[in-house]
Every structure is written in C-alpha cells, then in structure tokens.
C-alpha cells in the first residue's frame, strides 16, 4: 500500500501546490488537505477536510484518515484573507501544539515534515557571516513570526523526544520568492521606491517556490541510500545578493533613512500600512542573513534547481507596477523623512518620479 499524506495549510497557494504535486507521486495513495477555510484553488483531486488545527478536532481527522505522513505547512508570517496577527500566532503556536499532540497519539504516523524558517537565527550585527543548523541566535526574538518559529521548533523537538519512532524533518527556508508568492518581503520589493537603512547593504538569500515544493516532496519520501530524511536543514539557493543589487535588478530606487531599526520599522508600518512587516523583517533588511546549506545536499540529498540570483530574476520578471500609487508613496516617504529630522508633520508632497 502507498502512503497516506495529511497536509496542513492547503488554503494557501504554496500548500495547494504541494498537495497537487504529492497527488502525482506513485508511492502516495491518498492526500488529505486540511485548513480552517476552503481553498480557492483546486487540489488536484485530493480530499479536503475543513478543520482548524487550533482545535482538538485535528486529532479526530488524523485518526479517521489513518495518515502515516504529516506535512505541516500551516506555519506562516502572514494572515490569510482578513485574518489578524493574533490569528496567525495562534495558528502557528497553538495549532502546532494541537497537531503534535494528535501525532503523538496516532500509532499510524511515521513521518513528520515541518515548514520552518531561517528567521529562527534572527538578524543582528554580531551574527556570524554564515549560520549553520546549530548556530544559536544572539538574542531570542521578542515577538512576531521569528518568535513563533522559535516556539514551534521547541515543540517539535519535544515531540521528537517523545516519539523517537517518528522521522521528524524540519526545513528552515530562506525567504521564499517566485512568480506567485505573497509575502511581506515580496510586497516590499514590489514598492516603486524601496526604503532602506542608511549605511547598511545586507546580504540576502532566497529560495524559489518551485524548489520549496520539491524539497518538501524529498523530505516526505522514504530516504534513498546514503541520505537521511530526518533532522533540521537550512534550505536556500546558492549564492547571495545584496539589497542594493536587488534594487538595481528591480529597477527601483532606494531611499536611505537615518533611523534606528525599530523606530524605522514602526514608522514604515504605520505610514505605508504594511501591517505584516514586522521589526524582525526590518532587521533582516538591516543586517541580512546567510545560511550554510551543506547538510541540505549531503544529508537530505536535495539540490535546488535555482540559485538565489535565478530566484530573484524570476521574481523580478513577474512584478508589475508597485503596490502603491506614486503619489501615495511619495507622501509616505516625506512623512518618514520628517520623522527622521525630528519633525511632527508631513512635508509637502513631492513627485515620486
């Protein structure tokens, strides 16, 4: 008999893509997609169960389906639809706790794959040039998606100790980009003008959405000889790009701002209305983050098809006009500049061209 795979977070595009890909695997008999809301996209013939993983009902779903492989993709930094940051945090943390509790009780579960993030390392001026899987963060994040990830991985480690018979694979993804992704960083790069922190040109890594699907597939399969589909792995494309290189390749000018990171983040969020753009993400655009992917290749046995530069080029080709009208962005930049000079009111609006 083939595998029975249960996937969380299928209402999001990435989750839907993975379900459709898993349905084509010859060693998979059934795929069950789970989310609190029905997906707007098709699931390629997979079964869909409407269930909120924050509720104990997920245990019944797991028991009734008899799933032996669980792919937990409902760990994210952005709300779905009209959701709030509170809902996102509850789904990330409480939802993961409920799902792991259900997996612990299930005698059928043999493999667990968790979508995590390199946000777990944080971004600080004293960070090492390259982070490996054992690199501890210089300081634990105080909030936002990064704090969620730290808590989620802590619960996953506890589950792995309690169920040593289950192969647990944690995939720490660098920032995901591609033609269809919808993330705060993608929104930032879609602005007509990119606000940056004066004096900093951070190094960034990206992973292509196509490679995300393929590495999830690799992690959920039985390991090949010489590979091990359990453990924690950094997932990123080869190479790095600086923020200035990204700006030039997008053809979008930058606006360097003389503001401390936290103040700059707060002003940007309030002025531009980018409520999903957390201080942790602003610190990424200040100090950057680069991870080592040796274990991804040598232990997991996965080779990305796209480099960081390839990924960004594909993303760039898919971008149209910026998310904000030039007049609105010009006003926003003026107001932030006024804050930088210590002023309390907006400056006269200037042309963004």
Q: How many CA atoms lie within 13 A of 179 on its CB side?
A: 4
What six digits make up the tokens of 330?
């010009």
> Using one digit for the tens of pLDDT, what is the confidence trace for 67-96?
999 999 999 888 776 667 788 889 999 999
**Alpha-carbon gap, residue 20 to 15, rounded angstroms:** 9
To 10 degrees, the CA torsion angle through 299, 303, 306, 312? 0
DSSP 94: I
Name, in order, each residue with C-beta under 8 angstroms of 23's C-beta and a sequence gap of 6 or more.
31, 43, 44, 45, 46
- pLDDT tens-digit readout, 117-152: 999 998 888 889 999 999 987 777 777 888 999 999
In the predicted model, what is the mean pLDDT of residues 145-169?
95
17-38 residue pLDDT tens: 999 999 999 999 999 999 999 9
Q: What is the pLDDT of residue 320?
A: 62
The answer to whether the Cα torsion of 9, 15, 20, 22 is positive or negative is: negative
Task: Report residue 271's pLDDT band, with 50, 70 and 90 as the boundaries.
Answer: low
Among candidates 226, 216, 211, which has minimal Cα distance to 9? Answer: 216
Tell me what pLDDT residue 80 has.
75
SS3 256: strand
To the nearest whole number, what is the mean pLDDT of the chain? 85
The label of the residue with tokens 């531009």 reads 272
- Residue 251 predicted with pLDDT over 80: yes
Minimum mean pLDDT range among 69-83, 179-193, 262-276 = 262-276
Confidence of residue 351 (pLDDT cuts 50, 70, 90): very low
Domains of the chain: 3-180+207-236+292-305 (3.40.50.720)
How far separated are the first and last CA of the chain, in Å rounded? 62
pLDDT at 298: 94
**Is the confidence at residue 328, as pLDDT, over 80?**
no
Across the range 276-289, mean pLDDT stands at: 79
In this prediction, residue 352 carries a pLDDT of 35
Q: Is the pLDDT assigned to residue 236 strictly greater than 90?
A: yes
For residue 218, is pLDDT > 80? Answer: yes
Q: Which residue has the higher pLDDT, 2 or 290?
A: 290
Query: What are the tokens at 351?
Result: 């042309």
Q: Where is pLDDT greater, at 53 or 325?
A: 53
pLDDT at 270 over 70: no
| More confident call, 246 vs 194 | 246
Q: What percent of the chain has pLDDT over 70?
A: 83
State mean pLDDT over 307-325: 80
Within 10 A of 56 (CB to CB), how many other CB atoms are there?
Answer: 11
Compute the Cα dihedral for 245, 250, 256, 260 and give only its sign: negative
Q: Which positions ≥6 away from 270 have C-beta within 8 Å?
A: none
Task: Supply angle C-alpha 56, 59, 64, rounded to 5.
Answer: 135
Q: 83, 12 in Cβ contact below 8 A? A: no
Highest mean pLDDT among 21-30, 82-91, 253-262, 324-333: 21-30
pLDDT of residue 346: 40
Q: Is 90 exceeded by the pLDDT of residue 277?
A: no
281 has a pLDDT exceeding 50: yes
Taking the C-alpha atoms of residue 215 and residue 314, their distance in angstroms, rounded to an integer, is 19
241-242 and 203-204 beta bridge pairing: antiparallel
SS3 of 47, please? strand
Q: What does the pLDDT average to over 191-197?
A: 83
Sheet of 69-72, strand order: 47-50, 28-35, 3-8, 69-72, 111-117, 167-173, 231-235
3-state SS, one letter per residue, for 176-239: EECCCCCCHHHHHHCCCCEEEECCCCCEECEEEHHHHHHHHHHHHCCCCCCCCCCEEEEECCCC
DSSP element (H, E) containing 26:
none
The tokens for 12 are 């999001």
Q: ∠303-309-310 over CA atoms, to 5°? A: 65
274: pLDDT strictly greater than 60:
no
pTM of the complete model: 0.87
In this prediction, residues 178-182 reach a mean pLDDT of 90
- Cα of 292 vs its chain's centroid, Å: 17
| Separation between Cα atoms, residue 314 and residue 304, nearest integer Å | 15
DSSP annotation string for 316-329: HHH--S-SS-HHHH
Q: What percent of the chain has pLDDT over 90?
A: 60
């Amino acid at each position: 008999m083939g595998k029975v795979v249960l996937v969380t977070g299928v209402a999001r595009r990435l989750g839907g893509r993975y379900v459709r890909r898993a349905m084509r695997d010859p060693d998979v008999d059934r795929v069950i997609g789970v989310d609190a809301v029905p997906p707007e996209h098709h699931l390629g013939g997979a079964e869909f169960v409407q269930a909120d993983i924050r509720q104990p009902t997920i245990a019944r779903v797991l028991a009734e389906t008899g799933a032996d492989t669980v792919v937990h993709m409902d760990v994210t930094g952005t709300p779905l639809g009209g959701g709030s940051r509170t809902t996102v945090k509850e789904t990330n943390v409480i939802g993961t706790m409920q799902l792991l509790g259900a997996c612990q009780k299930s005698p059928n579960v043999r493999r667990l794959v968790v979508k995590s993030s390199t946000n777990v390392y944080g971004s600080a001026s004293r960070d090492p040039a390259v982070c490996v899987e054992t690199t501890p963060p210089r300081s634990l994040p105080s909030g936002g998606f990064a704090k969620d990830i730290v808590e989620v991985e802590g619960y996953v480690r506890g589950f792995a100790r309690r169920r040593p018979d289950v192969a647990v694979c944690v995939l720490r993804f660098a920032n995901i980009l591609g033609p269809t992704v919808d993330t705060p960083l993608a929104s930032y790069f879609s602005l007509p003008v990119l606000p940056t922190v004066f004096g900093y040109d951070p190094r960034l890594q990206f992973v292509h959405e196509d490679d995300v699907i393929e590495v999830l597939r690799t992690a959920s399969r039985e390991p090949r000889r010489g590979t091990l589909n359990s453990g924690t792995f950094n997932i990123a494309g080869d190479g790095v790009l600086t923020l200035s290189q990204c700006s030039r390749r997008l053809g979008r000018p930058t606006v360097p701002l003389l503001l401390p990171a936290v103040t700059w983040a707060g002003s940007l969020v309030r002025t531009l209305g980018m409520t999903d753009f957390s201080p942790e993400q602003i610190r990424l655009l200040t100090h950057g983050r680069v991870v080592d992917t040796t274990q991804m290749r040598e232990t997991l046995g996965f080779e990305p098809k796209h480099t960081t530069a390839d990924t960004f080029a594909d993303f760039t080709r898919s971008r149209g006009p910026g998310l904000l009208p030039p007049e609105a962005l010009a006003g926003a930049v003026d107001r932030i500049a006024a804050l930088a000079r210590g002023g309390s009111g907006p400056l006269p609006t200037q042309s963004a061209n």
